[in-house]
Amino acid sequence: MKKISKIDLENEKVFTRKNFLKEAGKASLSFAAIPMLGGIACYSRKNNKSGAMSALLALNHKPGPGPDPTDGPQANTVYMAKNGDCFQNVAKVFEMMGGIGTIIDKDDVVVIKGNGQWPKQGYTHTGCIKAVIDAILAIPGYSGEIFICDNVQEYGSSGALGFDATKDNRTNNWPDHNWNELAAEYQAEGKPVTAKKWITSPGTISGPADGEGWIRDFFSFHGNNAYLSYPIFASTLVSGRMIDMKNGVWESGVYTGRKVKAIFMPTLNNHGSGAEDYAGVTSAIKSFFGATEIHGGTGGTFSGARNIHAASYNIDNATYAGEMAARYITTMYSPVLYITAAMFSGHESRWGAATETKTVLACTNPATLDYIACRDVISPYASWLNPDNNNNTRNQILGCINSGIGTITTGSYSVVSYDFNA
């Protein structure tokens, strides 16, 4: 008898009615007298003693704690699609979540915050970004705007950023367009999509009435003065409209009540070169380093306060980096979703050798997402990034969790997966 495809984690593998029929059909089983579920069947790994037959038995029991896809993404659940192309994977992830419309309303302004600083797989896969944008634009009556953003901290080189990557810098990425070209194509079709590179600023603003700039929070962090910031920026699509990442859309001198929702779309790469460095993996947690300012470079300060990098990695503490990301979520703004575009994973480095992992993962918190992405997707090719080991990758994740964001405790999270090759 052919066994049903791999069960993920210690928790649930989720099957839709259609997929269940497909899998059990391969096992030449009869379903004539089997009651079918109206939603999703979930069962635990420990009960999967006989492959397809266990799935049959599971139909006669109340589903376990797996997510209900009609309610949108569930907390501490990682949705993973693999072995499809970028469009198939993103679409399947949204399907398992219950649809993008469960988190994005038709009048929301959406900011897709990618990783744009490095070439090749070092910047967020443009095809995955397009798939997300297409899903948002397909929401009935959608009237918002969509921005592709990042603060590349003035690092990288012209022609090698996600915004402007030339064709020779699109290896291990989507060859058709860079981010600017993708946005231009949408605009040529009359669709409300643009790319906006955030720029670190020395000035000070108190709100959107002061124009573009950054709202900063200064605080004491493990004995050092530190700061975080979030941007307020002008829409390039609607004259006079300001986008406040925390408080919403500002227009004609007032906040309109229209929401700004952020979707973070990180890469999945080794931050070092052939081994783990001070950061370990660069993915969802690390992506917050492009959501704020890094004045003065990696070891710099602003008004006597350390930037996010100087307050964490520069004192050799990846745990502090995770804590900083958690603080950002609780004091600046909280993204509604994180989508790791791991079509290619840089097992050697951010722009060095990569493996075509053909995977897209999503979660409502970055810590659980990074744990599963590192453990199941990249560590088979870069063992030093396995978060079950005592390493900087794990410490970064634990720093975020210990500050109240996410979990990796067995039994407190789940993985819902789909393999196009199964």
Same domain for 51 and 139? no
Work out the number of other CB atoms within 10 angstroms of the CB of residue 79.
Answer: 30
Residue 1 lies in a domain: no
Same domain for 269 and 341? yes
Distance CA 280, CA 394 (A): 8
Q: How many domains is the chain built from?
A: 2
Q: Which of 403, 382, 385 is nearest to 319 (CA)?
A: 403
Beta-strand pair 12-16/40-44? antiparallel
Distance CA 362, CA 140 (A): 23
Same domain for 256 and 321? yes
- The tokens of 118 are what? 């490095």
Give the distance, in angstroms, between the CA of residue 237 and the centroid of all CA atoms in the same chain: 25
Give the relative orientation of helices 126-137 and 179-188 as an angle to the nearest 10 degrees: 30
Q: Give pLDDT < 70 ranges for the chain.
A: 1-71
Residue 7 lies in a domain: no
Residue 85 lies in a domain: yes
CB neighbours of 138 closer than 8 A, spacing ≥ 6?
none
SS3 sequence, 250-274? EECCEECCCCEEEEEECCCEECCCC
Beta-strand pair 242-244/337-342? unpaired
Beta-strand pair 254-255/260-265? unpaired
- The tokens of 30 are what? 């009869």
Distance CA 8, CA 367 (A): 18
Residue 17 lies in a domain: yes
Residue 3 lies in a domain: no
Distance CA 398, CA 311 (A): 17
- pLDDT at residue 236, as a whole number: 93
Helix, strand, coil shares of the chain as percentages rounded to 5? 30, 25, 50
Same domain for 59 and 103? no
Given 42, 66, 90, the domain boundary residue is 66
3-state secondary structure of 353: coil
- pLDDT at residue 156, as a whole number: 79
3-state secondary structure of 249: strand
Q: Which of 388, 395, 338 is nearest to 73 (CA)?
A: 338
Strand partners, 262: 111
- pLDDT at residue 368, as a whole number: 98
CB 384 within 8 A of CB 347: no
Same domain for 18 and 141? no
Same domain for 120 and 31? no
Same domain for 248 and 394? yes
Residue 364 lies in a domain: yes
Residue 6 lies in a domain: no
Which DSSP letter does residue 376 get?
Answer: I
Same domain for 100 and 26? no
Same domain for 160 and 34? no
Work out the number of other CB atoms within 10 angstroms of the CB of residue 217.
Answer: 15
Given 50, 66, 82, the domain boundary residue is 66
- pLDDT at residue 335, as a whole number: 98
Q: List the domain range (segments joined by +) for residue 48.
A: 12-66
Same domain for 268 and 407? yes
Same domain for 16 and 83? no
Residue 242 lies in a domain: yes
Distance CA 12, CA 15 (A): 10
Same domain for 115 and 16? no
Q: What is the pTM of this model?
A: 0.85
